[in-house]
């Protein structure tokens, strides 16, 4: 959690929770068609942002071996995993 200090007449501490990465759909390489996500970001060891912008961000996710990643579209948000 990130703490943000707000200065004014008195010191206030406002806590802002970071918005986690969201997967919407995945692109299996054997079909080439987007389908509903299979696995949440938290079940992967690695999530990497490939491209940001537009309606969707494009991300790679993998465990152990980067040679076998899943391609996801979704929202990178603040780039954290819960």
- Taking the model in full, what pTM does it have? 0.77
Q: What is the per-residue DSSP string for 29-64?
A: TTT---EE-SS-GGG-SEEEEEE--TT-EEEEEESS
pLDDT tens, N- to C-terminus, the chain (82 residues):
434 455 556 655 667 788 999 999 999 877 888 999 878 999 999 999 999 988 999 999 989 888 888 999 999 998 889 8
Asked if residue 53 is part of any domain, the answer here is: yes
Looking at residue 46, its pLDDT comes to 92
Asked if residue 1 is part of any domain, the answer here is: no
Asked if residue 6 is part of any domain, the answer here is: no
Query: Domain range holding 70?
Result: 19-75
Count of structural domains, the chain: 1
Looking at residue 20, its pLDDT comes to 94
């Amino acid at each position: 959690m990130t703490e943000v200090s707000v200065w004014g007449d008195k010191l206030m501490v406002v806590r802002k929770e970071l918005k986690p990465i969201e997967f919407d759909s995945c692109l299996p390489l054997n079909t080439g068609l987007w389908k509903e996500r299979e696995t949440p970001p938290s079940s992967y060891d690695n999530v990497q942002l490939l491209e940001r912008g537009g309606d969707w961000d494009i991300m790679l996710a993998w465990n152990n071996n980067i040679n076998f990643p899943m391609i996801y579209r979704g929202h990178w948000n603040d780039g954290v995993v819960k």
